[in-house]
Amino acid sequence: MTITRLQPNPGLLSHALVHNGIVYITGQVPADRTQDVAGQTAQVLERIDTLLAEAGSDKSHILFAQIWLKHAVKDFAAMNAVWREWIPQDALPARATVEANMAADNILVEIALQAAVKA
């Protein structure tokens, strides 16, 4: 059994890992937390693109995404607009979106996902 850990944060977590042909990306949050939910979502998706590439995958191979929003009713449409522009329409993953208290007040969105490694 091989597990490849990507971008470990010592003592806390790996930002991604690959096991048995699946990439697991931990919840990603924006670096610039002064932006609105659309700006924060774009940042998170850009970070996910980087992690997927490092793991040998891409957004067309996403199997499942979990999205947490600080204000689901208020921010769902804006987050979804950015998501729609980013995700390939012929490769839509399963997805769940929920409202949650975030680790910091200025985090409006967090996204975690699983994807297949490209063959």
Give me the DSSP letters along 25-67.
EEEE--S-TTS-HHHHHHHHHHHHHHHHHHHT--GGGEEEEEE
Among 74, 63, 78, 65, residue whose Cα is nearest residue 99: 74
Q: How many distinct structural domains can be found in the chain?
A: 1
Q: Is the pTM of this model over 0.85?
A: yes
List the domain range (segments joined by +) for residue 56: 4-116
Pairing between β-strand 109-116 and β-strand 22-28 as defined by DSSP bridges: antiparallel
Tokens linked to 118 = 């490209």
> Helices 72-86 and 37-55 sit at what angle, rounded to 10 degrees?
40
One pLDDT digit (tens) per residue for the chain, 119 residues: 799 999 988 889 999 999 999 999 999 999 999 999 999 999 999 999 999 999 999 999 999 999 999 999 999 999 999 999 999 999 999 999 999 999 999 999 999 999 999 98
Domain CATH code at residue 95:
3.30.1330.40
